[in-house]
Amino acid sequence: MRKLEGKVAIVTGGTGGIGSEISLRFASEGAKVVIADLKIDRAKEIAEKIKKDSGNAIFIETDVANADSVKKMIEETVRTFSKIEILVNNAGKMQIQNFLEMDPEDWNEIININLTGAFLCSKFALPHIIKQGWGRIINISSTSGITGGTCGAHYAAAKGGLIALTKALSREFAKKGITVNAIAPSKIETGMLYGSLDEKGEKALLKKIPVGRFGKPEDIASLALFLASEESGYITGEVIVASGGYM
């Protein structure tokens, strides 16, 4: 039997490098996947790919930083699939910026997308997950939330806040049969990574990674699948670093 057979999973930011791979992997393991994103064409493309592979997926246009948009996404998910069991808070945005050049608007945008979005999605999804008596919330954080990173204080603060949110929710909802964990990737082969590096920077960075390569979205999807499955039932409140040894 497939690991997520019959489960309903929401993946926010489901069109990105990591998000799309999680969506595809979950669907291949039997989940009904909701791709919640603002990139309409790409989301439809992923949903169609899942359907062609005999999976089940829908796209719902969602701004995770907007409470009304998130609430409507949750309501549409329940109307379509009758339940929710798994939520992957993956939607995020990175902005490389020095602290003294950071405007309040820059700060608020990064906090709202990366942290407030996870709060809103969890808030509106949890009542439905609780009804199932079993659930999984997986927050995609970053090693920047542990080390401070090099992108910007706003990004590090948001990802660090996501780790704290993970731990708080894990304690509050453990007795409801719900586990809450975070994944903290480091250098993963996505547009976000390559958009911040030139060829020289790429080679220099690779030398610092003990395993000798960048991570792949598939690496994170495999970990997310484990955390979403029955096999991880005794793991909650944890932050699992996927960095190839680099921090």
Is residue 234 annotated as part of the catalytic site, yes or no?
no
One-letter amino acid identity for 144?
Answer: S
Continuous H helices in the chain: 17-28, 40-52, 67-81, 104-111, 117-132, 144-147, 153-173, 191-194, 199-208, 217-228
- β-bridge partners, 21: none
| Of 155, 194, 234, 246, catalytic | 155
Q: Treating both helix axes as pointing N-terminal to C-terminal, what angle do 217-228 and 17-28 enclose, rounded to 10 degrees?
A: 50
CB contact set of 237 (below 8 Å; sequence gap of 6+) = 166, 167, 170, 171, 174, 180, 181
- Tell me the backbone φ, ψ of residue 160, rounded to 5 degrees: -70, -40
Classify burial at 217, counting beta carbons within 10 Å of its beta carbon; exposed 0-12, middle 13-18, buried 19 or more: buried
Number of C-beta neighbours around residue 12 at 10 A: 27
What tokens does 157 get? 């603060």
Residues listed for the chain = 247
Which is it for strands 56-61 and 32-37: parallel, antiparallel or unpaired? parallel
The answer to whether the beta carbons of residues 11 and 90 sit under 8 Å apart is yes
What residues are annotated to the active site?
A: 155
